[in-house]
Structure 1
Amino acid sequence: MKRMRHSKAALLQTTTLVAAGLILTAAPAEAAEKLKLSVGGYAEQWFGYTDIDDEGNQDLDLTGFDVKSDTEIHFKGTTTLDNGLEVGVNVQLEGNSDSGDQIDESYLTVSGKFGRIDIGDENSALYKTHVAPTEYGIGINSGDTVEWELTGATSISDSGYFRAPFGGTYIEPARTNDSTKLTYYTPRLEGFRLGISYAPDTNQDSNVQPDRNSGLTDGVMGGIDFRRDFNGVGLAASAGYGTFLQSGDGVDEPEAYAFGLTVDYAGFQVGGSYAGFTDSGANDGDGYTLGASYDFGEYGVSLTYLHGERDGIAGSVDPDTVQADRDSVALAGRYILGPGVSAETTLGYSEYTSDAAGAGDIEAAYVITGIRVTF
């Protein structure tokens, strides 16, 4: 308990010093131009055929064609004050109906020679400093392919993949998504950048005061990444960790950790990434990716392999007695049609296994093509 109090005290002292530094460097900014918003974002439309075999539920027939969409509208803007500080805003609207999260990220930024501060609903430094192999197409290192491979009716659930090692190496402790938080990033020095985040609780889009007798509170996430070019050879590496310092009675404080490394030369890239969860119930486990890609101007191709393990499946009564595994591989290509417009294709295969009662092996093979537009 004393260690927790000292950690909180140190965190509050650091936050106070940063705030004080901003106040001391501030100056009247009547001449600064008022912030103006611009509209950006992306739109993705995918058409594909998938062949799904679920040995645990033969009543399903999920094989066939489908069309899937993913669109976001981003409202962004920045202004530079007379004292040199740059203040920005970023609000991201889901372009597809989503009753649970119609507004995705929503946060302010303050940046200057001291680095950058993000305040609001955004991913943590653990997530944003992470390095992983480049992918084209829909990508398998994010959980997106689950939508083509599983449904809520399959014998292995389609929930619990995003921001967890079973779905990819871009993770958050307790899968907290874009919980409201405060994040600081240092300037990049000799290729290194350090980031640290504080999240009062796991909630997003909520101003309710955290109750430290229930749920997870006082989350701390950090990450460091290195990016440098050595005579034409690009090296990128990262390491990150996150946890919650306090939890309700009978609940463990979850921990998350991730590492990544890529090497680039003349358009070629090879690399890998790793992530793990502990004290996270059914989501405990780890996963890793290996990948290679080649970018030759208008064209790009990538080959990625993902392996994941976790102690349970969503809804497991006793996650300690249930284990699930997955192996996924994807070959993908990209062709740039014009500024901000690309045609992309993914050919993939996944196998899921679980020793849960009633769950059988699931095999899914698919070919997916689509148009991605950024604006």
Structure 2
Amino acid sequence: MAPTSIEMGDEAITSLFPGPFIKSQFRTKTQLPPPGTDLAGKVAIITGGNSGIGLHAARHLLSLKLSHLVIVVRTLAKGESVAAQLRKDHPAAKVDVWPLEMTSYPSIQAFVARVGSDLPRLDLAILNAGLMKPTFGLCEATGHEETIQVNFLSTFLLAILILPLCKAKAPKSQPGRLTIVSSGTALTAKFPNRNQCPLLASFDAVDPKGLTSAAWDPTDRYFTSKMLGHLLFVRLLDYLRAEDVIVNLVEPGMCKSSDLHRDVGGPIGVFLEGWKNLCGRKPQDGAWTYVDATIVKGKESHGCFLMDWEIHPFTKLVYEPEGKDIMDALWKEVMAEYAFAGVQDILERSKAGKL
């Protein structure tokens, strides 16, 4: 059996440049599903599936004869426009568009309730929605900084709330599949406020260390949002059973024409687009990592971070002595944040094999 991400601590890296970046972007060959892979009869959900890598993943799944796809979007009109083309290209498939506002906890709860009531079956869910904000801003509904809210708090709330449905609505003969999109940038985040208490609240100021407003760093904020996902995910593993739902994190690589930097304009936006066009994978290649994580990889990928189609160590902080206290604090605060949604009960039932 392949080693898990937890067992690979000695291989953890703290810098992507130049070696790991060159290997990932230029020396890693795209891996397609085995010939004959057939998703007929299966049902899939993709959040953020109307653009970028998420849309390419939707196309890949439909090309493998997926029977029913639910594209989850913020703006229904944009989603319906994309879905119309997908229906035209794949007339045998059912393509639905459902709304979800990732900055709103009630919207997340309503979406999960709809999955419970409207989908008789669910084979795989890919949580792809995410963003990078060039300027500091707070979510009106929660009071948290937008990048942390969407990429971390909302994504993992959705993951935990949908977990019982991934089990209940999967075929009896096989576990459900839940893949959370992560990023290799988690491996190199600076995370300057790691020792702040309370931790989550420290992200809700322009400068999390209280120094100067000039300290706002949108790039590292995105990196840190993904690092927090690694730290919380490792703690979640005590509650997750591969027999019920195979849960993993996947990194698609830096891709050309991705929609991640859609809010970034000016010189920085121009630079990012140029950099992606020069060094990025084709988005359709990046999207195959999603398919690999949810269809090709089996129980050996449960609880793992997948990068370049392989099991890869988590961010190094997971393995360092100081990481334990940080993860303890993060876990305690996140569970308190989620208390309104009955998350602890879901996790305890999952741990006991009673989802």
Provide TM-score, normalisation by structure 2. 0.27
| RCO higher in structure (CA 8 A, sep ≥6) | 2
Hey, which of these two has a bigger chunk of helix by percent?
Answer: 2
Hey, which of these two has a bigger chunk of strand by percent?
Answer: 1
Which structure has the larger Rg? Answer: 1
